[in-house]
Structure 1
Amino acid sequence: MANVKLGTKAVGSIVKIKVNGASKDFIVVQQGLPSSAYDASCNGVWVVMKDIYTTMKWDGSNNDYLNSDMTAYLNGTFISLIDADIRNAIKQVKIPYTNYSNNNVMSGSNGLSCKVFLLSGTEVGFSGVSYMNTEGAKLSYFDSASKRVAYNGSSAAIWWLRSPYTSSSNYVWNVNTDGSDYDIWYNSSYGVRPAFILPSTLVVSDDGTVSVNTAPTVSTDGAALGRKNASFAWKYTVRDADGDTLTVTEKLDGKSAKTRTGVASGTALTFEQTASAAGFQKILNGNHTITVEVSDGKETVSTSATFTKAVHAASVTLAEPLAVEGDITVAVLQVTGSIPDDAKFKAEVTNNALDSSPVWQDATTEVKKGVNIVFENKTDTSGAAFNFRVSVERGESGEGGYIEAVSGAFQ
């Protein structure tokens, strides 16, 4: 499996975040804004700790959530325990809450500015409860009482909400052990399930761990490379802001052509198959897409370019002439393959290939007829040496072809 973005995780998924050095399970309870009652800052991935993290008093004086001991704890002591990278990524949000002075709900841009918070009664699915304000909207996850049940160790336990009991300043709403609503004196000690909102762009690994990562980047020579009739160098540079080593995969028309591992950030590379004559020859005429995929082990990015191979001519010769003792007076040459009748075909041979200016003799007619070639040249200054060169170019019909082999002999 591959790492995925946090924003793609289904509601109800478990993700892992370190708190005080230990990995803790969090439930994805909402993707995106729950409703228009929320400020745009709340647009992200809502997570709440799966189990009760600690037990404590909600406050020592009243049920004013804005100024409560609970709010101070969550945004002070607790948030400092979260792994630094994730702590820095937690969104500063404005959540709906009840104003202690008049019991009015403050929402939207007037919501409570915080990073970590308790869920409201409305958010966990309570509605129509006397003396409980509507603070926001139900989060997607909480569609039944069983989804509200939380555990402290092996036993279901009561846990705090941020919603005050509006007929008295002495009580706060809780979730009971069976998932029902329950109001309790603010000075009681019950379970805390911290919630916060993360950017959807964070990465989740196969084991559920959430991490902050900067995706690698690729800079290239361009995307539209035009017509190519010879090998060419498409250059690109891979970078990773986190300094991760990279795996680079080159693809031609969707098929892997080369993979490089352990590539350092800032490395300049060339797409190998198009850069060598041997590699380019294997590519058929027509439209092609070259793609580079770069992975830092957490995320993979890709970039592509297109080109049209339009090779309408080819030539073949020996890389090294064949030298012999004595003279070379006669040769025979065969060219096999598929060569259209209207193609421009030419065959030449030389018997003094080592000289500074070899004498090339047109042998096109003899090659086509399959007869012996009698050399006209009788001199050589560097010794007798044989070579040939065969060239073919597409004719007016536009029909393509190929040279499969060149064979022959000389004496």
Structure 2
Amino acid sequence: MAQKLSNLANKSKVKFGTIHGKPIVWLVADKNHAGYPSNSVTLVTNQIIKMLCFDAKESANSNSDRRSYGNNRYIYSNLRQWLNSAAAAGAWYTAQHSADAAPTSGNVWNGYNAYDGLAGFLNAFTADERAALLDSTITVGKSSTDGGGTETCTDKIFTLSCTEVGLSGDHTCGSKLAIFSDNSSRIATVTAECVANSNYNSNPSANAAWYYWLRDAYAGSARIARCVSSDGTLDWYNAYSGCYGLRPACNLSSDLLVSDSTDSDGCYTVIYNQAPTAPSTITVPSEVIGGENITVTWGASTDSDGNLAGYILEKKVDSGTWTQIYKGSARTYSVAVTYGSTSIQFRVKAYDTAGAESAYTTSASRTVINNRAPVISGSDGDLGSFSSAAPTHEYVVTDADGHQVDVVESLDGVAIKSYTVTLGQTNTLSLTSGQWLKLTNGQHTLTIKATDAKDASVVRTLTFTKAVTSVEFVQTVAMTADAMPTKALVNIQGNFPAGCTLQVWICNNGNDASPTWEDITTKALNSQKHFFTNTTKTASDWGVKVKVKLLHGSATETCYIQSIGGNFA
């Protein structure tokens, strides 16, 4: 696993970059140091890693000191240019001003540690390491030869100023770094590789304390640059001296990942892990109702390292702070919207197994509609099968906001009743006999839709099956006759497939308590006249009635009576 560089304590050791074929060991010198890039950690090498001159002597310079001892203006120095170059051997140097000269053996003191033929300092760094270096604007003290005062430049690698190591030079350049407090804290030793790669005739022993360059000029001289002595005090020397050491610094992002623990050298190692891309989209419903749940979805992220782990979803209610509500691999999440809130907004980011995080993808802010939909008691479901009478269903409608609620009851998508409900009162959904008779056998759907004054609605859905196997009806009022009816013609229309049974009866004494029924099924189906056989009655008046019975039986098709008509005499 990994942790952020900013988690490390000051003076922690970090391996970063390479020189002389070995990793460079740096110290955490400060965090979020004033004047340096925001969210950065400042590193300075743990030891002196190389001996080389500040700047070569410049034979074409009109200033005699610089002609003989080198130039102490840091922004033009060979040291600065070499530190920030990734060029190959012998290709890093370019003249910085008209009199500038490369640090050849002829241009440095006694030819010690000429470095014009070396590759640039950053050449041995990996592409990831070079990309991790932050551009840092540094302040540099100038000599009176160059007008005195200070100037700035922007570099990735730089030497420290007198002020940054806690010494009082001729200028104030930046502010003191946290790890420097006294002479002891400023003392630096040379690495064994530094000594092994130096041709100075009085090299210090490996790991012995030594001098190292600072970036400030000695104010009263054109050729002398400031340095820290081997005892940690302020010192100075001619710029072209190749026997002084290099202890550079740099700034890295606080979010750069390093190992959780140190290696066998007591150093943390940098983990070059690319953060995932930000989720491509985030989708929030356009209508957000207080007190209800909404579903937030987001697009996928990609990860060049192939170690995408998941997503972190956050929400902000009204003008509050962002709060994490989900962390995991899913790309959808159901969120309860707080009733009474006025707005809600969401943002999502991706993270990988190494702890790197993408930028956020943020939704538009949604206005919360604080109106709760009405509630219909019960639940959706099936009422069962009905063969003789239509189903009924009792329900109660309530509304937490107390709004007027209108209800529409529908059968198979067609409204059959609309009214304004009394909240909390029991209501009964029922079908008229006509509606029931018109229904074919099979499954049907009843819906109850309740809509409040702010157009929030809820629907209850109920199903039932009509399974009528027989139908029978009798005229309730006899058709009046002035005299005894002797004949009649009855016609019946409908669908009577094989397997069903149809029976039709007629009587001419329909006003009697017990009429005399005569079977006319065949005649009714064929529109044939029937001659009554009955000649008696007990009631005062004659009257004609018709009775029909239809049994479904084994029929595989729909059975129904469409119409009955006729006349009598």
| Displacement after TM superposition at 1:104 (Å) | 5.8
Partner Cα separation in structure 2 for residue 27 and residue 87 of structure 1: 18
> Which of 388, 391, 399 is the aligned partner of 2:449?
391
Q: Look up the match of 2:310.
A: 247
Q: State the secondary structure of the residue aligned to 2:158.
A: coil
Distance verdict in 2 for CA 1:138–1:260, change over 3 Å: closer
Contact 1:145 1:178 in 2 (8 A): yes
Distance verdict in 2 for CA 1:250–1:330, change over 3 Å: same
Partner Cα separation in structure 1 for residue 13 and residue 437 of structure 2: 84
Q: Look up the match of 1:326.
A: 387
> Which of 202, 209, 217 is the aligned partner of 1:157?
209
Which structure 2 segments of 5+ residues have no match?
58-68, 86-119, 192-205, 260-267, 318-322, 468-569
Q: Look up the match of 1:308.
A: 368
| Displacement after TM superposition at 1:54 (Å) | 1.7
**Structure 1, 137-146 or 329-338: larger mean CA deviation:** 329-338
Matched AA of 2:344: T
Partner Cα separation in structure 2 for residue 46 and residue 251 of structure 1: 28
| Displacement after TM superposition at 1:289 (Å) | 1.5
> Which of 215, 230, 234 is the aligned partner of 1:181?
234
After superposition, what is the alpha-carbon deviation per residue over 1:198-239, rounded to whole angstroms, capped at 9, x for unaligned?
A: 6xx663336474869678446768999576699988776566
Q: Greater RCO between the two (CA within 8 Å, min separation 6)?
A: 1
Distance verdict in 2 for CA 1:146–1:231, change over 3 Å: same
Q: Look up the match of 2:183.
A: 145
Contact 2:142 2:218 in 1 (8 A): no
**Structure 1, 178-187 or 238-247: larger mean CA deviation:** 238-247
Partner Cα separation in structure 2 for residue 166 and residue 362 of structure 1: 96
Partner Cα separation in structure 1 for residue 160 and residue 33 of structure 2: 16
Q: Look up the match of 1:256.
A: 325
Distance verdict in 2 for CA 1:322–1:189, change over 3 Å: same
Partner Cα separation in structure 1 for residue 347 and residue 220 of structure 2: 64
TM-score of the superposition, structure 1-length normalised?
Answer: 0.62
After superposition, what is the alpha-carbon deviation per residue over 1:366-391, rounded to whole angstroms, capped at 9, x for unaligned?
A: x9457795753332554154644333
| Displacement after TM superposition at 1:193 (Å) | 1.1
Partner Cα separation in structure 1 for residue 146 and residue 403 of structure 2: 92
Q: Look up the match of 2:348.
A: 293
Contact 2:37 2:134 in 1 (8 A): no
Contact 1:287 1:307 in 2 (8 A): yes
Partner Cα separation in structure 2 for residue 135 and residue 57 of structure 1: 25
2:108 maps to 1:54: no
Partner Cα separation in structure 2 for residue 286 and residue 171 of structure 1: 68
Distance verdict in 2 for CA 1:287–1:378, change over 3 Å: same
Q: Look up the match of 1:75.
A: 84
| Displacement after TM superposition at 1:19 (Å) | 0.4
Q: State the secondary structure of the residue aligned to 1:79.
A: helix
Q: State the secondary structure of the residue aligned to 1:64.
A: coil
Contact 1:122 1:137 in 2 (8 A): yes
Partner Cα separation in structure 1 for residue 401 and residue 465 of structure 2: 25
| Displacement after TM superposition at 1:247 (Å) | 3.3
**Structure 1, 116-125 or 241-250: larger mean CA deviation:** 241-250
Q: State the secondary structure of the residue aligned to 1:102.
A: helix
Q: Look up the match of 2:130.
A: 87
Contact 1:98 1:135 in 2 (8 A): no
What does 1:356-375 align with in structure 2 at a 5 Å threshold?
360=416, 368-369=425-426, 375=432
Q: State the secondary structure of the residue aligned to 1:96.
A: strand
Q: Percent identity?
A: 13
Distance verdict in 2 for CA 1:295–1:408, change over 3 Å: same
Matched AA of 2:342: N
Distance verdict in 2 for CA 1:368–1:330, change over 3 Å: farther
Q: State the secondary structure of the residue aligned to 1:324.
A: strand
Q: Look up the match of 1:121.
A: 162
> Which of 15, 18, 29 is the aligned partner of 2:16?
18
Matched AA of 1:27: V
2:437 maps to 1:379: yes
| Displacement after TM superposition at 1:294 (Å) | 1.1
Distance verdict in 2 for CA 1:166–1:16, change over 3 Å: same
Q: Look up the match of 2:247.
A: 193
| Displacement after TM superposition at 1:51 (Å) | 0.8
**Structure 1, 65-74 or 291-300: larger mean CA deviation:** 65-74
Contact 2:273 2:305 in 1 (8 A): no
Contact 1:318 1:389 in 2 (8 A): no
User: How many residues end up aligned between the 2 structures?
Assistant: 371
Distance verdict in 2 for CA 1:371–1:120, change over 3 Å: closer
Partner Cα separation in structure 2 for residue 227 and residue 284 of structure 1: 10
Partner Cα separation in structure 2 for residue 173 and residue 381 of structure 1: 104
Q: State the secondary structure of the residue aligned to 1:378.
A: helix
Matched AA of 2:325: S
